[in-house]
Amino acid sequence: MLRSISLALLLTIAPASAFANSCPTQMAAIDAALPTASLSEADMTKVKELRKQGEDLHNAGDHAGSLAALGEAKKMLGI
């Protein structure tokens, strides 16, 4: 019984921590693409805002929101 509870708890926590750990990877990909991006000034500003928003949401524990914002920034950058 205890083994089943432990396994269920592990399966619940593991995806959440994996989800949280991908935010920094996404931010790093955006940071690497920014210097060579050929975007309009308005789009570059929007990408930087989304990147900041993603970091803020990640730090607040909202990893789904963070990944959504970072995903939009990556889409605008074409990565």
- For the stretch 28-78, pLDDT in tens is 999 999 999 999 999 999 999 999 999 999 999 999 999 999 999 999 999
pLDDT number for residue 14: 47
> Residue 60 region, left (φ>0) first, then alpha (ψ -120 to 50), else beta?
alpha
pLDDT band for 7, please (50, 70, 90 cuts): very low
Answer whether residue 5 shows pLDDT above 60.
no
- C-alpha span between 54 and 52 (Å, rounded): 5
- Residue 60 is classified by DSSP as T
Work out the burial of residue 17: count CB atoms within 10 Å of its CB; fewer than 13 is exposed, 13-18 middle, 19 or more buried: exposed
